A and B are shown apart, each in its own frame.
Chain A
Amino acid sequence: MFESKVVASNAVKRHVKVPLLPEICILVAGVVCFYIFPSNLGFLTEIVVMALFVLSLDLLLGYTGIATLGQAAMFGAGAYCAGLFAMYVHPDPLIGLLVAGIIGAGIALVSGSFMLRTHGLSFIILTIAVAELLFAAANQAQDITGGDNGLYGFAVAPLFGIFEFDFYGRTGFFYSLSILALAFLLMRQLVRSPFGLAAKGLREDQERMRALGYPVYRHLMIIYAIAGSMAGVAGGLSAQTVQVVGLQSLSFTLSAEALVMLILGGTGRLYGALIGTVIFMVVHHMAAALDPSTWMLFIGLLLVTTVLFLPKGLMQLFDIFMAWIKVGRRSE
């Protein structure tokens, strides 16, 4: 009796949960990077913003099985709205971000309302079409968006009225990092909730979910809107930290690159989105620094190797590692 109690408490100890552990890890990793690369904060911010964007894609592709090549539509819309909001309405960054998120969700709802009635290839084509339409609209509306020249000349007020967006990008970095951690927390809650589990069900078999009496279309719409608002927030962050919004924020290239990062990291895993983005962008950055004209070769090799040997993305390495540790423990 006594013995079993000890065993039980040991078991509890081993499984003791530190609340918010992943988010704390993200923040700590960010702070470590901040001190190691104090002069690369612009690049680090780029990574953080991209990670948030890839995370939104992971919710769609990884958790719900919605393959899209037009996620940049929401990113770009959020970016332009945050820029225009700062220019004409109010320079506060947080309100701007909120607006960017709402716009992202709005675009997702409007486009999703007809797109989500289709599946597979036709859905993918439609997502590309919507993003291209927005791209063309932004190019046409020169007076509002600046067209090819980009939207510029908006200033963002200090965060909380205290922290000014400085030249080194310190505020921009910690601001983006906090938003990423927050989004990660929300995502974690979401995918674990019954709602998130239902999303996984949709990924596995929509027909079956429908047969079970599940409101499939409504569920897809909500998820598409949530992912859209996250992409919008990522776009807003990009606008606020770079202070110029270019047409490339709505481009097909951006959507496709995000997809590549996600697949590299591993779809359907929240960490996969983060790791894929970090590895892709760091390798890109370092290879481009080593040889500015042929770095694409490194990226290509990395992708081919990953897809060939780790079809589930880099997260598979982590799985293999964990399995190896378990085997080690058992043999002890």
Chain B
Amino acid sequence: MLKLKLLLATSLAATTLTMTAQADDPVKVGIVAPLSGPFSDYGQQFRQAIDAYQAQHGKSVGGHSVEFIYKDNGGPDPGRTRSVAQELIVQEQVDYLGGFVFTPNALAVAPLINKAKTPAVIFNAATSAITQQSDYFVRTSYTTPQVSVPVAVYAKEEGIDKVVTLVTDYGPGIDAEQAFAKQFEKDGGEILRSVRMPMNTTDFGPFVQGAKSEAPDAIYVFLPGGPPTYGFVKAYADNGLMEEGIRFLGTAETQELDLQTLGSSALGLHTGFHYSQAHDSPENQAFLDSLHSLYPDAIANWASVGAYDGAHVIYKMIEATGGEKKPEAAVDAVKGLSWISPRGPMMIDSDYRSPIQNVYMRKVVKGESGELVNKEFKVYEEQPDYGRFEE
């Protein structure tokens, strides 16, 4: 037993030694993301986007090469995330962290980065409260209220007065429901019913029929990606809500990884979100060209752009500090930073270190080669994180 441990120990020590000997002192960035299991799509999107960024902007900044080290944390697992992040900080000596798909995972590293003074860039986790847990957090994704509120504003502008909300019964779903309802009721709209659907629902027919019987002008929906979204969209189409004029309003439901699978039943769905692969701008085109030159089959979604802009923010921090470990200066350098991202113009809020960005209303239509795209038709400019006003 002990011998076995010693053997493991020596072999592990040997590999780490050779690894440290090879590198010529680059700035190291640790990426914590699910790379295996059911959530590994996120890790893949992150990695591809970071590679695309490095292909475009070089693997070094200000004469310092930047090395990204990936660590798998599986899924929502704070304990694992904490130990993985600790290893990155203590053993790999990373100066920056990035990644973080799930809120509890991001929260678990807050005490670590507070003590180690390591800036951590959140590529995805979308709960408003996260960045308040540490001054070293910077977010490049979005927050759920940030994209839900503009959808409510849009609904009222379109003359929609009565809405049934249907959300998956977990943290983000409830955040979305509340953010939407608050804005919609403030504008004089009426929420007929708020339905919370259990997490493992596979048959959405009863929920959709129930909503239909209330005869609303629209339904507002929040679902986690993948199979639940397929099931819901199918139920929406099968029960003929669109024909009756009950519109579908959502946020990330028509995200690019799921969109082609949704098929023609997704045509005409309205969503409000901060990134569409079909966003028409030279910056987005350059990003997609770079991405496709490396990974011809890659699809860009919000996770990709979160990581791409995350890499940008990390490069800016390294540039501002000359590659040295000056965490406060690094975070200060990106507070209020604004640039043109593939998603459009964006800025890091200097108080909340979360993005201020455009939220686009999109409609699913057929693209040039017959594939489905999220076509943007209306912009709500410079939307803040509406969730930050709470609490």
Report A's interface with B, CB cutoff 8 A: 29, 32-33, 36-43, 45-46, 49, 136, 139-140, 142, 146-150, 152-153, 166-169, 238, 241-248, 275, 282, 286, 288-289, 292-296
Contact = CB atoms under 8 A, between A and B. Distances in A.
A171 to B, nearest CB: 13
Contact of B5 (A32, A146, A241): A32
B108 A148 contact: no
- Is the contact region of chain A dominated by helix, strand, or loop, or is it mixed? helix
B199 A42 contact: no
Nearest to B109: A244
Contacts of B84: 42
Contacts of A38: 90
B127 A149 contact: yes
Contacts of B110: 152
Contact of A40 (B40, B76, B87): B87
Nearest to B9: A36
B262 to A, nearest CB: 24
Q: 10 shortest A-B CB distances, which residue pairs? A: A42-B83, A150-B104, A148-B171, A39-B91, A292-B35, A39-B90, A244-B78, A167-B115, A42-B86, A292-B72
Nearest to B70: A292
B42 to A, nearest CB: 12
A40 B78 CA distance: 16
Contacts of A140: 169
Interface string B193-204: 000001100000
A149 B104 contact: yes
Nearest to A151: B104
A272 B87 CA distance: 28
B77 interface: yes
A42 B116 CA distance: 14
B71 A292 contact: yes
A167 B76 CA distance: 22
B172 interface: yes
Contacts of A146: 104, 171
A288 B87 contact: no
Given A167-B112, A293-B72, A150 B78 contact: yes
Contacts of B80: 46
B12 A148 contact: no
Nearest to B8: A282
Interface in B89-119: 90-91, 103-104, 107-108, 110-112, 115-116
Contacts of A147: 170-171, 174
A206 B8 CA distance: 43
Contacts of A245: 78
